[in-house]
């Protein structure tokens, strides 16, 4: 019975990210992880949220952060922005992002440098789909 309960819990956790995908607009929005939005026009802010825990179990911090970025990029595209930048750390599965229109300025690398819940540096690079 414990094995069945553990299996169901794993399936539910995996299901939390189903449906959170970059849409066609979000694919055109980059994340300015180095914070450089000089020369860009401020388009406002977006606030996005995902489940950061399921019952008493916390979800993987990196997965939550990745989903927040995807949602911020998708949402920013709807207001005409082509660049987003986090305005703070995620809190309780929610994060605020600034949205800018930078045109063809692609100086900011698409690299994620953040800290996980234990304070360790985490760096990831998005995978290009071909």
Q: How many domains does the chain have?
A: 1
Residue 45's pLDDT is what? 97
The answer to the question of residue 130 being in a domain is no
With respect to residue 105, please indicate whether it lies within any of the assigned structural domains: yes
Q: What is the pLDDT of residue 102?
A: 93
Average pLDDT score over residue span 22-51: 93
Q: Among 8-17, 53-62, 63-72, 114-123, which is the least confidently predicted range?
A: 8-17
pTM: 0.68
Query: Is 98 within a domain?
Result: yes
Residue 44 lies in a domain: yes
DSSP reduced 3-state for 44 = strand
Quick check: 50 and 67 in contact, CB under 8 A?
yes
Could you tell me if residue 27 is inside a domain? yes
Q: Which domain holds residue 93?
A: 2-124
pLDDT, average across residues 93-104: 93
pLDDT, tens digit, for every residue of 39-80?
A: 999 999 999 999 998 888 999 999 999 999 999 999 999 999
Residue 69 lies in a domain: yes
Would you say residue 112 has pLDDT above 90? Answer: no
Given this model, what pLDDT does residue 3 score?
58
CA distances from 42 to 66, 82, 84, 100, 112 (A): 23, 11, 10, 5, 21
Let me know if residue 129 belongs to a domain.
no
Say what the pLDDT of residue 9 is.
Answer: 53
């Amino acid at each position: 019975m414990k094995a069945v309960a553990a299996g169901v819990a794993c399936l539910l956790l995996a299901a939390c990210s189903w449906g959170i995908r970059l849409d066609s607009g979000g694919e055109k929005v980059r994340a300015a992880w180095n914070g450089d939005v000089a020369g860009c026009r401020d388009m406002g802010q977006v606030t996005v949220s995902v489940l950061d825990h399921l019952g008493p179990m916390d979800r993987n911090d990196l997965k939550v952060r990745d989903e927040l970025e995807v949602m911020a990029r998708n949402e920013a595209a709807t207001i005409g922005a082509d660049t987003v930048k986090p305005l703070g750390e995620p809190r309780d599965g929610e994060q605020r992002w600034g949205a800018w229109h930078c045109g063809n300025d692609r100086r900011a690398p698409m690299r994620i440098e953040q800290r996980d819940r234990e304070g360790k540096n985490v760096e990831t690079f998005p995978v290009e789909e071909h």
